[in-house]
Chains A and B, each alone.
Chain A
Amino acid sequence: MIRLTNVHKWFKDLHVLNGVNLNVHQGEVVVVCGPSGSGKSTLIRTINQLETISEGEIWVDGKNVTDPKTDLNALRAEVGFVFQHFNLYPHLSVLDNITLSPIRVKKMGKAAAEQLAVELLDRVGLAHKKDAFPAQLSGGQQQRVAIARGLAMQPKVMLFDEPTSALDPEMIGEVLQVMRDLAKSGMTMMCVTHEMGFAREVADYVVFVDQGQVVEQAKPEEFFSNPQHERAKQFLRQLRSH
């Protein structure tokens, strides 16, 4: 479903991604972790080309996203993306946030889009908030709406860029629950996150990134109990000490 081959990216002199190779198959859940500044956010943003790359190839659902001939808008319509800071549209109601792209991009009928939106809101437990505005919701609620907004495009894969890092601790659980349900429904997912409990429970494997490289890639039980690489060991120690 997602394949990265020898992906490099430079910000001027800074080598942010240094030859990343990665495969995510249909139905798999992959958790990407690593110290801050390791390039993991940049990495996930290259997949729907919110970040360009300097070298290498990225394929999503059989399409080469770095090929200038690829229709990026059509591709992004199939790839859901959840941001750290939710990025809901503040001037629109929850319902309009969710239906905007299905109606304008996928040309779905208004009634069908709204019905789908209500179903998705129900799934994330927020059907009663459909007429609220983003500013009236808590962070956890906003993030759940953002997930519903992504799902409304009926994507083939969902990408999560630190979806719980901007949340108060008591709100992390509700977002993770939605993500867990989503993973169990068979969605192909790639998540940049430090929520190791989530990784242990639903990830097919964990990818550890450091200094723009995939340092280690293993099943969660192996990664947590027996990390191979020194930097991964150090990272896990620091994570546990918190």
Chain B
Amino acid sequence: MDFSQIVPALPDLWEGMKLTLELLVMAVVGGIALGTVLALLRLSSNPLLSGFAKGYVNIFRSVPLLLVIIWFYLAVPMLLNWITGDFVPVGAFASCLVAFMMFEAAYYCEIVRAGIQSISRGQVNAAYALGMTYGQAMRLVILPQAFRKMMPLLLQQSIILFQDTSLVYAVGLMDFLSSARSRGDILGLPHEFLLFAGAVYFMVSFFASQMVKRLQKRLAV
């Protein structure tokens, strides 16, 4: 075992980690936004809207993430071509981002839905009684309370997503894991680099989890 070659490789690995984090942050923000919209549709009294959201969630929770990533890599350019009539180069990063956002939205949707349902009916009634529209009641009264309650769950789901971003190797993106693997292969030290990558994933995830637990305790008080 020779770990001495890892230090000189760190700038390269950091480039990979930057891609991982970029993808993560954008996917989390987009996924939560889309998931919130889905949750509101799911809770709608209109059977068409709630049916759509339910179907969406069921489909994305029933297929492997890896498949979604590959499928979007192939499908997104085709779809765009079909819509615009032009050939638009999309690139692996954009297609992965869309895949993650849409896939994670299904999970975030269920978290947000539970969060909204945990807020008492009296809060909506109070907002309505004070003249608010549905949109105002949600935006000003229900969602701020719901997000506060579900913050730990959203973060926990995002930590899982952090690990799952490594699946982008399938479409050739150089994320943290891919760059560690390729460095290791080039230098003939695959085990060392994979062990190091594993240690980094573990440390980031583990400490993030600990922070979430602490946050959970603080919110519970």
Interface residues of A (CB under 8 A from B): 48, 50, 73-74, 76-77, 79-81, 83, 85, 87-91, 100-101, 104-106, 149-150, 153
The complex places the Cα of A8 from the Cα of B136 at a distance, in Å, of: 30
B126 within 8 A of A: yes
Bound together, the chains give a CA A74 to CA B130 distance in angstroms of 9
- Contact in complex: A87, B133 (CB < 8 Å): no
A104 with B136: CB separation less than 8 A: yes
Question: Within 8 Å of chain A (Cβ to Cβ): is B215?
Answer: no
A85 with B122: CB separation less than 8 A: yes
Query: Who on chain B is nearest to A77 by CB?
Result: B131
Check if B191 is an interface residue, CB within 8 A of chain A.
no
User: Is B128 within 8 A of A76, CB to CB?
Assistant: yes
Residues of A within 8 A of B120 (CB): 87
The 8 Å CB contact of A90, one of B125, B129, B130, B145, is B145
> Main SS of chain B's interface residues?
helix
- Contacts A90-B145, A91-B144, A91-B145 hold; do A101 and B130 have CB atoms under 8 A apart? yes
- In the assembled complex, the Cα of A90 lies from the Cα of B129 at a distance in Å of 16
Residues of B within 8 A of A79 (CB): 129
Residue of B nearest to A89 (CB): B141
Contact call B123/A89, Cβ cutoff below 8 A: yes
CB 8 Å contact bits of B131-168 with A (1 = contact, 0 = none):
11100100011001100100000000000000000000
Do A77 and B130 contact each other (CB < 8 Å), given the known contacts A90-B145, A91-B144, A91-B148?
Answer: yes
Given known A-B contacts A104-B136, A104-B140, A89 and B129 have beta carbons under 8 A apart: no
A105 B132 Cβ-Cβ under 8 A: yes
CA distance A85 to B122 in the complex (A): 8
Residues of A within 8 A of B133 (CB): 73
Q: Which residue of chain A is the closest to B119 with respect to CB atoms?
A: A90
